Structure 1
């Protein structure tokens, strides 16, 4: 009798294992189709294993956390090394920040919320691909936005020009958005994207600089860090006065699979403000209608529209989550 029970249990276990394997395979095939993933046969098993591991993390998180949701995206089958290759914030040391501080701004009543995502001057979310050029995308967004506000005409500017030409930064190896503004100011402007399109996601290297003053579409006037920092209210005031604010943040493993909701991670409350590795842009703020209400920043990323909420995320505001309130900066155009 005991032997028979053991046989039955073994059969049931095999059936469940087979069902699990089938479900994993169906999920894997669905993921590849949705995100247009094609792998060499020798890489298929490794990529699938990465995906299955992340799928289990997503399911566990979404069962336990109701403030924000994880989901599959372009990172789901990547190695840790590949994911880290899309980080590239290398901001200037703290002591150097005081050489170019922000100007005092007029204190006035702040609106309950700001959201620049749907503004006609905000360009569509872009994709830096497998290149640590997030700094260039963070530098370009406020230039596009503020130039449009001045001229009334939307404009897309060239991140590739910065990757190829900017001698203050390090192309796909990382950089600082304020150094990018310094370079643009000295160079005489930044070119329009149609004259210098982005290709670094495929080349992974700094190319030959093809700068042409005839295609310049924006020029830098002044720039600086928001002061004092970290201070959420100060950043909100600058956001209202100067438009989108680039910042740098620390990326934990949990962020790669972010999908929706107000992101927070207790491990991302960091004592050392210099622990940052990715450049993003704050484009708004608000507060949830939940109980308790959660204040948040609206953040634009450069990982394409399949990441997060169509390329954007909400992150908890007022606690310097992932150091995002320590590195906000602003820029004005000529």
Structure 2
């Protein structure tokens, strides 16, 4: 009888394992179709293993965390090294920023929420692809927005010009948005995207600078860091007065699979504010209607619309999550 029970349990275990393997295979095939993934046969097993590992992480997180949700995206089958290559924020250190004057915190009533996502001056979310050029996308967003506010006409500007031409930054190897504004101001402006389209995600390297003053579509007036920092109220004031604010943040493994909700991670409350590696843009703020209510920033990424909430995310506000409140900056245009 004991032998019979053991045999039954063995067959049940085999059947269970087979069912699990079949479910993983079906999920893998569905994922590849959804995100148009085509792998070399020799690379298929490794990519599938990466996907299954991330799928388990997603399932565990979504079961345990109710504030924000994970989901599959273009990163689910990537290696850790490939995902790290997308990070390219190299902002100037705090010592250099300390020379900028700090403006007093104004005693005024701020809007309950700001959301620039649907503003006609906000360009569609873009995709930096396989290049650490996040800094160039963070540089361009406020220039596009503020130029449109001045002229009344939406404009798309060239990230590739910065990747190819900016001597103060490092192309696909990273950079700083304030240095990029410095370059744009010295150069006399930044070109329109249609005259200098983005290709770094496909070529993986920066090319020869093809700047032409005849295609300049925006010019920098003034720029700087929001001061004092980190201070959520100050950033909210600047957001209202100067439009979208680029910032830098630390990217933990959990962020790659973010889908929706207010992102937070206990491991991203950092003692060292210089621990940042990715440039993003704060385009609004608000507070959830949940109990307890959670204040959040609305953040625009440059990882395409299949990441997060159509390329955007919400991240907890007022706690300097991932150092995002230490690196906000503003720019005005001519």
Stretch of structure 1 that moved more, 97-106 or 21-30? 97-106
Instruction: Give, in whole Å, the separation in 2 of the partners of 1:33 and 1:317.
Output: 36
1:160 match = 160
Contact 1:101-1:225 within 8 A present in 2 as well: no
For residues 32 and 286 of structure 2, what CA distance do their matches in structure 1 show? 35
Runs of 4+ with deviation above 2 angstroms: 98-108
Change (3 A) 1:201 1:148: same
Q: 1:107: how far off?
A: 4.2
Give the deviation of 1:98 after TM superposition.
2.8
Q: Equivalent residue for 1:172?
A: 172
Unaligned runs of 5+ in 1: none
Q: Deviations over 1:99-158 (max 9, x none)?
A: 344655754210000000000000000000010000000000000000000000000000
Give deviations 1:174-224, integer Å, cap 9, x for gaps. Answer: 000000000000000000000000000011111000000000000000000
Matches within 5 A, 1:250-261: 250-261=250-261
Q: Distance in 2 between matches of 1:269 and 1:224?
A: 25
- Cα distance in 1 between the residues matched to 2:171 and 2:128: 11
What's 1:294 paired with? 294
Question: C-alpha distance in 2, partners of 1:104/1:244?
Answer: 20
Q: Distance in 1 between matches of 2:180 and 2:75?
A: 27
Q: What are the within-5 Å matches in structure 2 for residues 173-212 of structure 1?
A: 173-212=173-212
Any residues of structure 2 matched to 1:309-320 within 5 Å, and which? Answer: 309-320=309-320
Aligned residue pairs total: 334
Partner Cα distance (2:139, 2:13) in 1: 55
Q: Which runs of 5+ in 2 are unaligned?
A: none
Partner of 2:142: 142
Structure-2 residue corresponding to 1:223: 223
2:103·2:228 contact (CA, 8 Å) conserved in 1?
Answer: no
Matches within 5 A, 1:1-334: 1-101=1-101, 107-334=107-334
TM-score calculated relative to the size of structure 2: 0.99
Q: Do 1:160 and 1:198's aligned partners in 2 also have CA atoms closer than 8 Å?
A: yes
Aligned-residue Cα RMSD (Å) equals 0.9
**SS of residue paired to 1:299:** strand
**Are the equivalent residues in 2 in contact too, given 1:102–1:224 (CA < 8 A)?**
no
Q: Output the CA distance in 2 between the equivalents of 1:100 and 1:248.
A: 18
Displacement of 1:3 in angstroms is 1.1
| Cα distance in 2, alignment partners of residues 223 and 102 from structure 1 | 13
Conserved 8 A contact 2:226-2:234: yes
Are the equivalent residues in 2 in contact too, given 1:102–1:223 (CA < 8 A)? no
**SS of residue paired to 1:155:** coil
Q: Structure 1 residues 254, 158: CA separation in 2 closer, same or farther (over 3 Å shift)?
A: same
